[in-house]
């Protein structure tokens, strides 16, 4: 299935073992607060910012001119091992709040403005998930609904039916990169045998695509 039709692709062995070791050490440094997720990683980590702009990653993106506009770290450990319900990634983060047609609702979380942009904008974005650990069936892997990104913003009462009929589990090994459209329906289970399942989550977009005067929270130009 093509990336455009399926909304996802898995690339094997993108990151080599010595880089993985450096990234795991960086992950530990950034994640020292012990929470499940870390935001605004590009600003805090020159190593991850350089990875996000590296040829090894960028060559997999489906269009030229896409830049990293949001960054998060996720882990699943015995202490932080929760399931993630089926959802689409429908929000972006921006520097300041401005009322613009098609951008709604707004929320303010962790000192950052979040907003839902139009589905047409989300359809042009791409997420890369860099896996620092093996993500096998017992490690709370990601499940997706192939092709669901083509349905725009899916009403909440349609999600369960779509997911029950069409879910696919994505397993991967450390060093793999999973690429997906933010509108692809996805979820993840609690890990049956939690250890670590560290993921660097990077969202890419054309930096100029936002309606003026909005600007990406994590893109400095």
Ligand X SMILES: O=C(O)CCC(=O)C(=O)O
| Angle subtended at Cα 180 by Cα 178 and Cα 185, rounded to the nearest 5 degrees | 120
Which residues lie near ligand X (CB under 6 A)?
A: 74, 84, 89, 142, 186, 188, 199, 201
Task: Determine the Cα–Cα distance for residues 76 and 93; give it in Å rounded to an integer.
Answer: 24
What minimum distance in Å lies between the beta carbon of 141 and ligand X?
Answer: 8
What minimum distance in Å lies between the beta carbon of 84 and ligand X?
Answer: 4
What minimum distance in Å lies between the beta carbon of 131 and ligand X?
Answer: 10
User: Smaller CB distance to ligand X: residue 152 or 194?
Assistant: 194
User: Smaller CB distance to ligand X: residue 84 or 150?
Assistant: 84
Task: Determine the Cα–Cα distance for residues 67 and 88; give it in Å rounded to an integer.
Answer: 21
What minimum distance in Å lies between the beta carbon of 140 and ligand X?
Answer: 6
DSSP-derived secondary structure for 174-210: TT-EEEE-TTS-EEEPPPSS-S---EEEEEEE-TT-S
Q: Which residue is nearest to ligand X (CB)?
A: 188
User: Smaller CB distance to ligand X: residue 11 or 74?
Assistant: 74
User: Smaller CB distance to ligand X: residue 29 or 190?
Assistant: 190
User: Smaller CB distance to ligand X: residue 67 or 181?
Assistant: 181
Task: Determine the Cα–Cα distance for residues 125 and 84; give it in Å rounded to an integer.
Answer: 21
Task: Determine the Cα–Cα distance for residues 150 and 143; give it in Å rounded to an integer.
Answer: 17
Element (H, E) at 8: strand 8-11
What minimum distance in Å lies between the beta carbon of 44 and ligand X?
Answer: 19
């Amino acid at each position: 299935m093509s990336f455009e039709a399926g909304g996802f692709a898995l690339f094997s062995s993108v990151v080599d073992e010595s880089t993985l070791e450096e990234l795991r050490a960086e992950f530990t440094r950034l994640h020292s607060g012990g929470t499940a997720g870390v935001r605004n990683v590009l600003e805090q980590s020159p190593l991850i910012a350089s990875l996000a702009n590296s040829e090894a990653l960028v060559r997999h993106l489906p269009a030229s001119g896409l830049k990293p506009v949001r960054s998060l770290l996720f882990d699943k450990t015995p202490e932080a091992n929760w399931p993630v319900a089926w959802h689409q990634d429908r929000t972006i983060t921006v520097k300041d709040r401005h009322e613009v047609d098609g951008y709604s609702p707004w929320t303010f979380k962790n000192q950052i403005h979040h907003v839902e942009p139009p589905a047409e904008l989300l359809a042009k974005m791409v997420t890369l998930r860099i896996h620092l650990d093996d993500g096998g069936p017992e490690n709370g892997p990601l499940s997706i609904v192939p092709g669901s990104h083509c349905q725009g913003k899916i009403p909440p009462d349609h999600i369960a039916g779509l997911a029950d009929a069409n879910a696919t589990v994505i397993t991967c090994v450390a060093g793999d990169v999973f690429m997906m459209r933010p509108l692809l329906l996805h979820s993840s289970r609690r890990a049956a045998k939690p250890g670590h399942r560290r993921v660097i989550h990077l969202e890419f977009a054309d930096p100029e695509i936002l309606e003026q005067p909005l600007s990406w929270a994590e893109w400095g130009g």
